[in-house]
Structure 1
Amino acid sequence: MTQANSEPPTPSDGSNAVKWVALGCVGCFGVPVLAGLVTALVIGGTTQFSAGPDQGSAENQELFTYTIPGETQTILNMGMLGMQMVQVANTDSPPSVLLTMGQLPSYLKGSNAQQSFVEEFQNSITTEGNYQLTEQRVEERTLCDQPVSVVIQTGSFEDGPTTYNAASLLTFVEHNNDARFVWVLTHGDAPQTTADQVFATLDCR
């Protein structure tokens, strides 16, 4: 059981183009556009990205402490337009445990806008990653010494001809006047158990 300390590679030239487009359109971003841009960076393999006046370095401090089974790797470390996002995963191919931790920008006012952004991002990632999450329920748990409502989804993940069970845990928490979220996505023989184990290790930094 280890924490991710891997150093992401230098971003490609393509990410610089996205950065300048983003900086030129700060005021015109809607929730779907912003979520789509973040998704494009993730799917495009851009592991380190920084944009905006408050993002002097693409190397962001992780927002939560965590433990993931097995070896870990950094998938994404991004600061953009007041938003911070870090994604880590185990080293399975494809990863059977994906942990996304984020801090939402202040201009996403209200819980509805924040939830819409995360759900847009979540839906894009699960669709691109061949996840089908169908069953949903809400459980009350504790995160960062606070009560939180956790959205739990279960379904399947397709890897070529093989189909695995899948599970997803998503919740929001306020910490130091910042709106944060955490999303655990797993697949395998016992994905719900794995997701619960990862969630139990989470705490705010």
Structure 2
Amino acid sequence: MTEEIIIAGFGGQGVLSMGKILAYSGIMHDQEVSWMPSYGPEMRGGTANVTVILSDDRISSPYLKVFDTAIILNQQSMDKFEKSVKPGGVLLYEPNGISQHPTRTDIHIYQIEGNKIATEMGNKKIFNMVIMGAFLKIKPIVELENVIEGLKKSLPERYHHLIPLNEEAITKGMNNVKTYLKEKQVL
């Protein structure tokens, strides 16, 4: 099994953290892992993306042009990465702020309203864990207990009291992901 993932959005959305947690989870699952972040000099508010590869075999290169899964959190990333999903692959996106929804018919497309769910839960910082839950529902490539361990490794100890809230956010994401159905055009 090899899963090649791009996670892309604005800085401050937890894009890099989500990738790091997936990478830690893969390591604990005894997989080979690559984590390659990319972000602009603006950081918060600028574009950010991370490529994560989880594999049962050695990874020859962390540099990819096409992906099994794209997790898209803003319009700029949709414009850039929708076409980079392999045919038959998965595109998961947060529709808030997306004006041009995906149009491909050769991939599986899912939506998760991460902003809305995180706001309802009272903490917008768990947005990325809602998205993580949606991804794990679609592609359960790592076990939830490994994700929780990944959270413990990536969060500073002073924030470990928030791990139960993050776990709840993952569950909410799993329970609220939806298949995106393009509207049928009337002729």
- Indicate the structure whose relative CO is greater, using CA pairs within 8 Å and at least 6 residues apart: 2
Superposed pair shares fold, TM > 0.5: no
| Length-normalised TM-score, structure 2 | 0.31
Bigger strand fraction: 1
Bigger helix fraction: 2
| Length-normalised TM-score, structure 1 | 0.29
